[in-house]
Amino acid sequence: MSTKKQLVIIGGGPAGIAAANAADTNSTDVTLISNAPLGGRAGWSSLLPSKVLLTASDLLHHAGVDAPVYADLVAEIERVADQYHALMQSDLEARGVRILTGSARFTGSHALEVKPGEGEPQTLTFDTALVASGSGPMFPPGLKPDGKRIWAPRLVKVRQSLPGTMILVGGGVTGTEFVYALSSLGVQVTWLVDEFGVLPPFARDITNELVAELLARGVELVEGVPVAELQNTGSGVAATLKDGRTFTADEAFVAIGRRPDVANLNLEAAGFAAGLRELAVDEYARTAVPHIYAAGDVTGAPLVVNKASAQAWTGARHATGVQTPPLQSSTLVEAVYTHPQVAQVGLTAERAEAEGRSVKVQKVETSVALKSLLAGDEAGFVTLVSDPETGQVLGGSAVGGHAADVLAPIALAIGMGATVPDLAAIFPAHPTLSELSYEVARR
């Protein structure tokens, strides 16, 4: 019998896999429990399928090729998913991670039950646990998909064609990315967004650039009033807003948010307070029960993979006794993979103003980078936010081609406590888009 400590990871999505890869398997036996094939809902039903469509959209934009047959894109989703997840499983098995398929629920502070699809449940005991059970979609009454004319991200890969016209409900990251992807693939999109607007967490200057581009592509944006009901009329769909206005199309797509998936974990048995809807964590991904960690969507917004991976890496290393620095949420780049991309990291000028904080803001146009002219992607800009007294880098934002990549040096500067002069003194390879994050520091 092993004398190693036992770490149990609940969830086989990006956070769970990242945790299993980060855990010290020399000191700890690691068991990963997944109620679905490795990759989770993100890998098989939402994130990866959407990124295949976005990649195809980018190829259409840059190469000017004919739009692919949608059934071929579905086949590509399956191919990439199978290949990617097979590699992940192989890597985990090579590290000695034990993988169990089933649904997990706590039965005590150091015990849980795993119920497989078939067969008898088994009980596991553990020294530490990491919860990475992800999130599930939210559909208010009247906006539930039917898989016929009303769709959702998880249904993308089960359809074989696209309609001529589509109503898209939702102004968050997922909704915005699908507006871009669907319009790129030839669908006429009517975009219905509630009173919170398009991409509420993002700076308005970069968001406005993206919206203008989508409108120029023929997207119709109706903003300011929530959708009360979607109805399959048999020959199409009708969306009724709460102010009574009605819009029609061939089909509809609903992308209005997700919520942490904790309902079936029996958290109270592990020592958590009753009625929790998400798991709050500290800078080491520890929950209110110190030997239980959490990572990813289950910890609440933002529901993005880089946050999930960062929490998982930090939490799994800490749980298995490896010295690790605390998580710095200010270094996490938030990105929207449209064209142009929009991205931000750390403190934006808007957030600083809302907090009443004085900052210095520097800006450079994307077109100053030769690489942007060579790629025909010169529209956009990069901003840098810093402390006006110390010069410490606090944040940045970007809109344009590969905006998320452009901000990587600024994220590193935040994490290292670097100053604007530190950034200004660095000259990366030329011509590259990464030059922008250093050039803006010299402005």
Please answer whether residues 241 and 224 qualify as being in contact, where contact means their C-beta atoms are separated by less than 8 angstroms: no
The predicted pLDDT at position 396 comes to 97
Instruction: Give the domain ranges of the chain.
Output: 5-136+259-327, 150-256, 330-442
**Same fold across 150-256 and 330-442:** no
User: What band does 57 get if pLDDT is binned at 50, 70 and 90?
Assistant: confident
Residue-level pLDDT at 153: 85
Query: 397 φ, ψ to 5°?
Result: -150, 160
User: pTM here?
Assistant: 0.89
Say how far apart CA 414 and CA 347 lie, in whole Å: 10
Least trusted range by pLDDT, from 39-43, 103-107, 197-201, 255-259: 39-43
Architecture, CATH, for domain 5-136+259-327: 3-Layer(bba) Sandwich (3.50)
Which of 359, 20, 334, 405 minimizes the C-alpha distance to 177? 334
What CATH topology corresponds to 150-256? FAD/NAD(P)-binding domain (3.50.50)
Residues 6+ apart with CB under 8 A from 305: 14, 15, 42, 47
The string of pLDDT tens digits covering residues 173-230 is: 999 999 999 998 899 999 999 999 999 999 999 999 999 999 999 999 999 999 999 9
| Statement: residue 43 has pLDDT above 70 | no
Higher-pLDDT residue of 308, 69: 308
For 330-442, CATH number?
3.30.390.30
Indicate the range of 277-286, 373-382, 431-440 predicted with least confidence. 373-382
Kindly indicate the confidence band of residue 66, based on its pLDDT and cuts at 50, 70 and 90. Answer: low
